[in-house]
Amino acid sequence: MRILTLIMVLAPSIFVALYIHIGHSDQLVKKNIQNFIELETLAPVPSLPLLSKDNSSVTLENLRGKFLLVNFWATWCAPCVKELPSLNRLNKKLTNKGFDVVLISQDLGGFSQIEKYLKKLNIKMKYTFIDEKLNFSRAAKVTAIPTTILISPEGKEIGRLVGAIEWDSIDVIKMLERYKEKILQK
């Protein structure tokens, strides 16, 4: 009897998960685009150091001049891992169009841990950093992962999206290009 009750309780959740997985993820993506929160006034991005692959400190100020899509993620975060391939594809599509994707890992295991993981997923990003003590994340008011922040070439936050999304979808690319045009017109 307990098993039957458990099945009846879990069945709706399983159905929803399968519904999304089997081909209705576009609806989920469109819903998530609406979750992008644009700031009324552009805000400065923290200039706190991040750890680079060569164990040196770097700030996002070093990357000024392009639009940055900064993704906060971790290897233990299932939604983060799910969206990594779409971030990789987006980076390939937009790198020559004035955008760069930046990954900031919340993992404490160092680069050996995240590089193995990225290699396994065939993710090749030019900019991958670790926020060792999460100081940058706290200063940027990142309260959940994945969180992705869109930053202007001048180093100002345009807006952010909390949650996973298919970043290389046509609707998302159009949204990013609209923000690029809007910022460049100012």
The answer on 132 and 51 residing in a single domain is yes
Distance, in Å, from the CA atom of 3 to the CA atom of 99, rounded to the nearest integer, reads 51
The CA-based diameter of the chain, rounded to the nearest angstrom, is 65
Closest by CA position to 173, among listed 87, 103, 110, 112:
87
Q: State how far the alpha carbon of 130 is from the alpha carbons of 18, 73, 136, in Å.
A: 34, 10, 10
In terms of domains, do 25 and 89 share one? no
Q: Are residues 76 and 22 in the same domain?
A: no
Structural domains of the chain, count? 2
Q: 53-69 pLDDT, tens per residue?
A: 988 999 999 999 999 99
Q: Are residues 28 and 89 in the same domain?
A: no
**Backbone angles phi and psi of 125, in degrees to 5:** -115, 140
Query: Which CATH number goes with the domain that contains 78?
Result: 3.40.30.10
7 with 40, same domain: the answer is no
Same domain, 29 and 45: no
pTM recorded for the entire structure: 0.82
Same domain for 180 and 117, yes or no, is: yes
H/E stretch holding 32 reads: helix 25-33
Q: Are residues 55 and 114 in the same domain?
A: yes
3-state helix, strand, coil in the chain (%, to 5): 45, 25, 30
CB 138 within 8 A of CB 131: no
- Asked if 156 contacts 42 with a C-beta cutoff of 8 angstroms, the reply is yes
Mark whether 88 and 16 lie in a shared domain. no
What residues make up the domain containing 16? 1-33
Q: Residue 185: its pLDDT value, please? A: 84
| Residue numbers of the chain with a pLDDT score lower than 50 | 3-29
Closest CA to 133 of 114, 110, 112: 110
CA 41 to chain centre: 21
Is there a single domain that holds both residue 89 and residue 135? yes
Q: Are residues 108 and 178 in the same domain?
A: yes
